[in-house]
Amino acid sequence: MDSLVVSNIRQRPLRSAISILGVALGVALVMLFTGLARGMSDDLQKRSSNVSAEIIFTRPGSTQIIASSANVSTKYVPLLQAIDGVESVTPVIRYVYPSGSFGFDQVEGVEWDSFSKMNNIRLIQGHAPSPDEVVIDETKASRNHPVGSTLKVFGDRVYRVAGIYAPESGARVKMTLASLQDELQAPNKCTLIYVKVKNPSEQLLVAKRINEALPGNKIQPTRELFATIESSIPGLTIFLRMLVGLAAIVSALVIMLAMHTTITERTREIGILKAMGASRLYIIGEIEREALLISFLGLLVGFALAGIAGFGIHKATGLIFEFGARWGLTAAAIGLLGGALGAFYPAARAANLDPVNALAYE
């Protein structure tokens, strides 16, 4: 980058800093939102992969990853257990409730003995939950929730932490199925029923038997259920794309405003350059290079802000951020292209200035 471009930025440090921060804000927003979506998706998939059941039994139209209802009768449990090829069955309520950390949190109601045995979950501290008690995973426990402490669930209900389990599986907080049924006023109901088959290679055959014995329900292989959070939350992908577009517009407008003001202040300088024989292409190139340098610095600051903010939010709330290369390249393109496009009109305007009028400009 030539010295003229660098000196122009140094002459106006405050305006340059504001322009850099404007670009950085757009980049940081893209990285934070996409990093949060990616982190939550991968975290859900990691915890869901520890479910050993091969089949999930629900009612038609239900969504199990983000659920907040109990519409499956537990009367299906003994019926499913009696089907040939089924090894074990356990009902689960998965409930989402408002939380102060990120707007929502999740708890599961389980029959601990059958659930833990089916999914190879063990208590590493404490004991199984009883009424008014919960068990939590190691990640939740690391956030100042040791055995014996209290935990607020459903916003204001206080439960005692009875134990810590591993590995992570489903919701980080689990209570007894009966307790959650009482809380939701849903006796003899659950959200889904996990079905473990005797021979995993026969899960499709067992699923067919279940469908024949209990028609009108939804029988789904576990491996097909746990899609990414982007497809589980309607409209999230569209929201992320709109965010990317908004960030590009913000970057372009910030650069356009900065370059327009800069050119107005440099009218005499541009007149001198044109009087000395500088071509229109040269002047446009100088302004575009200055805009690209500002955009590049904005990229660096934006990536740094996103990393610092993501780390701070994770420490404060436990939310997980995973910054992917694809979205990083997208953010870089937003910053650089937004800066280049935003500077084009002011650059073209400067190139068309009349040298005599520019030299006489006060």
Average pLDDT over the chain, rounded to an integer: 81
CA–CA dist 212, 210 (Å, integer): 5
Query: Same structural domain for residues 313 and 209?
Result: no
Query: Same structural domain for residues 219 and 337?
Result: no
Respond yes or no on whether the N-terminal peptide bond of residue 167 is cis (omega within 30° of 0).
yes
| Last residue of one domain, picked from the residues 164, 195, 225 | 225
Q: What pLDDT score was predicted for residue 228?
A: 44
Q: Which domain does 132 fall in, by range?
A: 52-225
> And the tokens for 130?
């009883």
Give yes or no for a contact between 150 and 195, defined as CB atoms under 8 angstroms apart.
no
Q: List Cβ<8 Å contacts ≥24 apart for 4-10.
A: 4/286, 5/286, 5/289, 5/290, 5/293, 6/293, 8/262, 8/266, 8/290, 9/290, 9/293, 9/294
Residue 47 lies in a domain: no
Query: Same structural domain for residues 196 and 75?
Result: yes
Query: Same structural domain for residues 101 and 195?
Result: yes
Q: Quick one: DSSP state of residue 74?
A: T
Helix (H) or strand (E) holding 166: strand 157-166
The stretches in the chain having pLDDT less than 70 are: 1-5, 7-9, 61-68, 99-104, 224-237, 239-240, 243, 247-248, 251-252, 255, 258-260, 262-268, 354-362
| Last residue of one domain, picked from the residues 194, 225, 256 | 225
Q: What pLDDT score was predicted for residue 16?
A: 79
Query: Same structural domain for residues 239 and 118?
Result: no
Phi then psi for residue 197, to 5 deg, are -95, 155
**Number of domains present in the structure of the chain:** 2
Q: What pLDDT score was predicted for residue 351?
A: 73
Residue 311 lies in a domain: yes
Between helix 236-265 and helix 280-317 the angle, nearest 10°, is 140
Q: What pLDDT score was predicted for residue 280?
A: 77
Query: Same structural domain for residues 112 and 56?
Result: yes
Using one digit for the tens of pLDDT, what is the confidence trace for 91-142? 999 888 776 555 567 899 999 999 999 989 999 999 999 989 999 998 888 8
Instruction: Look up the pTM and report it.
Output: 0.66
Query: Same structural domain for residues 31 and 61?
Result: no
